[in-house]
Amino acid sequence: MIKFGTDGWRALIAREFTFENVRIAAQATVNYLKSQKQEGLSTVVGYDTRFLSDKFAEEVACVFAANGIKTFLSHEICSTPQVSYNTKMLGVDIGIIITASHNPPEYSGYKIKANFGGPAAPETVSNVEKFIPELMNSNFNPNLKTLSEYIADGLIEMYDFKETYLNYIREKIDIEGIRKSGLKILFDPMYGAGIRTMGALFPYCEELHADHNPSFGEIDHPEPIDIMLGLLKARTAQGFDIGLASDGDADRLGAVDEMGNFVDAHKIYMIILKYLHGYKKLSGKVVGTVSLTSMVKKYCEKYGLELIETPVGFKYSAELMAAGGVMIGGEESGGLGTCLHIPERDGIFNGLLLIEAMLNRKMKLSELVAELDDEFGVHVFERVDQHVTQEQKERILAAAAHDPEFIGEFKVIEQNKRDGFKFFVEGGWVLIRASGTEPLIRFYAEGDNLNKVRSLIQSAIDMK
The domain defined by 265-345+356-376 carries CATH number 3.40.120.10: yes
pTM: 0.94
What is the sign, positive or negative, of the torsion defined by CA atoms of 194, 200, 202, 208?
positive
What pLDDT is attached to residue 139? 84
Q: Which residues in the chain are classed under CATH 3.40.120.10?
A: 4-165, 168-261, 265-345+356-376
Architecture of domain 168-261: 3-Layer(aba) Sandwich (3.40)
φ/ψ of 429, rounded to 5, equals -160, 160
Whether the pLDDT of residue 320 is over 70: the answer is yes
For residues 45 and 66, what is the distance between their CA atoms, to the nearest angstrom? 14
112-130 pLDDT, tens digit per residue, is 999 999 999 989 999 999 9
Whether the pLDDT of residue 317 is over 90: the answer is yes
Mean pLDDT calculated for residue range 174-195: 97
406-419 pLDDT, tens digit per residue, is 999 999 999 999 99
What pLDDT is attached to residue 11? 95
φ/ψ of 4, rounded to 5, equals -85, 130
Look at residues 417, 387, 421 and name the one whose alpha carbon lies nearest to residue 407: 421
Put the strands of the sheet holding 421-425 in their side by side order.
Answer: 380-387, 440-447, 428-434, 421-425, 414-416
Contacts of 370 (CB under 8 A, 6+ apart): none
Q: Which CATH class is domain 380-461?
A: alpha beta
Q: Angle 41-44-148 (CA atoms, 0-180°, nearest 5)?
A: 95
Do the beta carbons of residue 31 and residue 17 sit within 8 Å? Answer: no
For residues 140 and 172, what is the distance between their CA atoms, to the nearest angstrom? 45
Whether the pLDDT of residue 438 is over 70: the answer is no
For residues 75 and 72, what is the distance between their CA atoms, to the nearest angstrom? 9
Q: Which residues in the chain are classed under CATH 3.30.310.50?
A: 380-461
Whether the pLDDT of residue 219 is over 90: the answer is yes
Homologous superfamily of the 4-165 domain (CATH): Alpha-D-Glucose-1,6-Bisphosphate, subunit A, domain 3 (3.40.120.10)
